[in-house]
Homo-oligomer: A and B are copies of this chain.
Amino acid sequence: MKETVILEKLKEKKLKNPILITGLPGIGLIGQVVGRYLVEELKAPKLASLISPHFPHQVFMTKKGKIRLIKNSFFLFKGKKRDVIILVGDVQAINSVGQYEVAGKMLDYLQKWGVTEILTVGGYSTGKISDNRRIFAVTTSEQLRAKFEKMGVIFGEAKGSIVGAAGLLPALGSLRGIPGSCIMGETHGGYVDSVSARGIVQLLAKYLDLTINLKRLDEKAEESKKVIKKVEADLKKSIETQYDSSAKGATSYIR
């Protein structure tokens, strides 16, 4: 196997104005938490899997004694107004050549379905824990910006670079004529932030006109708050380290 491969699972003829939502691992695992939550709550069946020689050469042993390849998966939710393809995965490609190849194959596949919008989800690490998690975004489309700004999403404030698929998919998609955005939940960066993820899920429910039960995520967020208290306590202890230059430099690095 020399190239990234898409394995189709579901027979579908045509999708209705489909949008891609990504939930791949990254800062604060916000993307992954959001993506998996959507798939579970929306009971979205698997549309396709993607496997790649640019993923680690490992397989997982499952609790049921099975073997599972490392992969990224596309799930499909057929909405009232538009269809939603949700991309989740174990990993991202391990280097630049791999990231570009995988993003290219994903876009080929999404174009086959006529995807009209790419919306990637990530975390934006600020190195501190704010009570009110803001949602930052960047986009390739003024129209999308207007829509998101109406919903309170902040543009022009997040700085630095976006590493990996959350940045490459909308950027490379734009070259193919597909508008896209990356929305980023404000987060500390040092732990899995279900509170920030909850905010993104709420935004997506509103944006896509979906009914999503937040109960399970509320529970996770409660646990997350406990983690935060511990992190805050740790923070106080190491406050000097927090403000050194290298730590600040890291705050603009998101996935």
Rounded to whole Å, the gap between the CB of A140 and the closest CB of chain B is: 5
| Residues in B whose Cβ lies below 8 Å from that of A59 | 161-162, 167-168, 170-171
Cα of A68 to Cα of B170 in the assembled complex, Å? 10
Q: Contact check: which of B55, B67, B99, B140 meets A57 at CB < 8 Å? A: B99
Assess whether B1 is in contact with A101, with CB atoms less than 8 Å apart: yes
Instruction: Pick the interface stretch among A40-48, A152-160, A207-215, A241-249.
Output: A152-160
Taking beta carbons and an 8 Å cutoff, which residues of A are in contact with B?
1-2, 7, 51-69, 93-101, 103-104, 137-140, 145, 155-164, 167-168, 170-172, 174-175, 180, 182
Given A96-B94, A139-B66, A167-B67, is A61 in contact with B161 using a C-beta cutoff of 8 Å? yes
Partner of A1, one of B100, B156, B163: B100
Contact between A53 and B171 (Cβ–Cβ < 8 Å)?
Answer: no
B61 touches A162 (CB 8 A): yes
Closest residue of B by beta carbon distance from A49: B175
Asked if B138 and A67 make an inter-chain contact with CB atoms under 8 angstroms apart, the answer reads yes
Q: Which B residues are in CB contact (< 8 Å) with A163?
A: 56-58
- What is the distance, in angstroms, from A71's C-beta to the closest C-beta of chain B? 10
Contact A138 B54 (CB under 8 A): no
Q: Could you tell me if B162 and A67 are in contact, using CB atoms closer than 8 angstroms?
A: yes
**Taking A61-B162, A96-B54, A161-B58 as contacts, is the C-beta distance between A67 and B174 under 8 angstroms?**
yes
Closest B residue by C-beta to A55: B96
Contact A171 B67, CB 8 Å, known A2-B101, A54-B97, A96-B94: yes
Min distance, Cβ A154 to any Cβ of chain B, angstroms: 8
Residue pair A172, B1 in contact (C-beta under 8 Å): yes
CA distance A57 to B117 in the complex (A): 21
Q: Cβ of A168: which chain B residues have Cβ within 8 Å of it? A: 57, 59
